[in-house]
Amino acid sequence: MPLFSYHCTGCDTEFEALVIGADQPACPDCGSVELEKLLSRVAAEPRVPEPVGACSTCGQYGGCAAGRS
Ligand SMILES: [Zn+2]
């Protein structure tokens, strides 16, 4: 899901918006499109715990040809 966080420079509101394709979100508060894109918490910290079985050779999870069988 392309969920992004934005900060409206017009009214100092932060909000999250689903942005699909080239959609331009607008502030839900004041309707401004003068927005700063913030790093989404979802994107910045994907909640993928390190699997115990990560390949020790290449660090890849799951699909490593060199490591796990
Ligand atoms: Zn606003």
Break the chain into its structural domains and give their ranges.
3-38
Place of tokens 């839900």: 28
Pick 35 or 39 by higher pLDDT. Answer: 35
| Ion ligand 1, residue ranges at CB < 5 A | 8, 10-11, 13, 27, 29-30, 32
Q: Which of 17-26, 31-40, 55-64 has the lowest mean pLDDT?
A: 55-64
Q: Give the pLDDT of residue 57.
A: 76
C-alpha separations of 49 from 6, 8, 43, 67 in Å: 26, 32, 14, 19
Q: What is the 68 CA–ligand 1 centroid distance (Å)?
A: 51
Instruction: Enter the pTM of the model.
Output: 0.53
